[in-house]
Amino acid sequence: MRLFIGLIVLLALSCKQPEVVIDGKYIQDIERNKITLEGGHVLDLNNEKGSKIIYLVRHAEKDTIPEKNPILTDEGYERSYRLAELLKKTRIDAIYSTLYNRTMHTVDSLATLKGLKTNIYQPKDLRQMGIDITDQKDLNSIIISGHSNTTPAMANVFMGQKMIDAGFHESDYDNFLVVNIMPDGKKKLYQLRYK
């Protein structure tokens, strides 16, 4: 009997292990909780009551001037418009960005489109931010604009363990991570890209 109960407990624990589902596929469209990838594959995210969908993006292409707090390049602004266009048919409850021109400008078009203000967060407080977002019952779908090091680190915070080993390459601006947290605590990480 103890062996049977032990197996049941192990099975229950194994069901809550974080999972990386897709790696590197480009997004064609997002509508409600469905992400269509190039090639037609559809990811159906769990959006039932008590779940969370967290979109994580690195800021778009940045200029080199001014050195400390640059704005986006023309290509970066185009990417920010495409991000807004990509997310226009899905629910967004909150937008977060660090207090840098490049991260705020990446989500400005989306904030305008959705009629939302951008909440500012401190990169040094990622763990607390993850707790705060997870605890807020009225936030189901969130986007966070970060940096080459903070975006994968934030995904790791939400997943509860290190799923992504390193930051994004300095020239890599098209990463689009999606963390889906189910009401039962099960978590999935989708490592995608957007054009």
Indicate whether 136 pLDDT > 90.
yes
The helices-and-strands tally (H runs, E runs) of the chain is: 5, 9
pLDDT in tens, 149-158: 999 999 999 9
Which pTM does this prediction carry?
0.89
Q: Tell me if 165 is assigned to some domain.
A: yes
Which residues, listed in sequence order, are joined to residue 191 by a DSSP beta bridge? Answer: 23, 177
Q: Tell me if 103 is assigned to some domain.
A: yes
Q: By the 8 A CB rule, do 141 and 92 touch?
A: yes
Indicate whether 7 pLDDT > 70.
no
Q: Tell me if 186 is assigned to some domain.
A: yes
CATH of the domain at 117: 3.40.50.1240
Host domain of residue 106: 19-193
Total structural domains in the chain? 1
- Computed over every residue of the chain, the mean pLDDT equals 90
Residue 150's nearest CA partner among 17, 58, 74 is 58
Residue with tokens 């990446």: 106
pLDDT in tens, 19-30: 777 788 999 999
Q: What pLDDT does residue 16 have?
A: 55
Q: What pLDDT does residue 19 have?
A: 72
Q: What percent of the chain has pLDDT over 90?
A: 82
Dihedral of CA 137/32/180/114: which sign? Answer: negative
- Give the largest CA-CA distance in the chain: 68
Indicate whether 9 pLDDT > 50.
no
Q: Tell me if 1 is assigned to some domain.
A: no
Of 14-18, 45-49, 89-93, the poorest mean pLDDT is in 14-18
